[in-house]
Amino acid sequence: MKRKAFTLVELLVVITVISLLMAILLPALRKARNQAQRAFCSNNVKQILMALHIYANEFNNRLPCPAIGDKRWMRPLDTKSIDYLMKYLKNRKVFYCPCNKQQIKYTDFYWNYKPTSRITGYMWVLDTLEGRSWKISGNGNKKWVRTIDVSNPGDVEILTDIVMSNERDYGPPNYPHGNFFDVPGQLENSAGVLDSSSHLLSDSKCEGGNVGFADGHVEWRPFAQMERRSTYYFTYPTFWW
Domain, as residue range, for 205? 34-239
The answer to whether position 144 is within a domain reads: yes
The answer to whether position 168 is within a domain reads: yes
Calculated CA dihedral for residues 126, 100, 86, 64, nearest 10 degrees: -10
Q: What is the pTM of this model?
A: 0.84
Spatial CA neighbour of 81 closest among 43, 42, 41, 129:
129
The answer to whether position 28 is within a domain reads: no
Please state the domain count of the chain. 1
Asked whether the bond before 173 is cis by omega within 30 degrees of 0, the reply is yes
The answer to whether position 64 is within a domain reads: yes
The answer to whether position 127 is within a domain reads: yes
Which residues have CB under 8 Å from 196's CB, separation 6+?
A: 100, 101, 102, 103, 162, 180, 181, 182, 183
Q: What is the pLDDT along the chain (241 residues), one digit of tens a residue?
A: 555 666 766 677 777 777 776 666 666 656 666 677 888 899 999 999 999 999 999 999 999 887 666 677 888 888 999 999 999 998 899 999 998 988 888 888 889 888 888 989 999 999 988 888 888 988 988 999 999 999 999 999 999 999 999 888 888 888 889 899 888 766 655 667 778 899 999 989 999 999 999 999 999 999 999 999 986 555 678 899 9
The answer to whether position 130 is within a domain reads: yes
The answer to whether position 19 is within a domain reads: no
The answer to whether position 115 is within a domain reads: yes
For residues 240 and 162, give the distance between their C-alpha atoms in angstroms, rounded to a whole number: 8
Segment (H or E) for 140: none
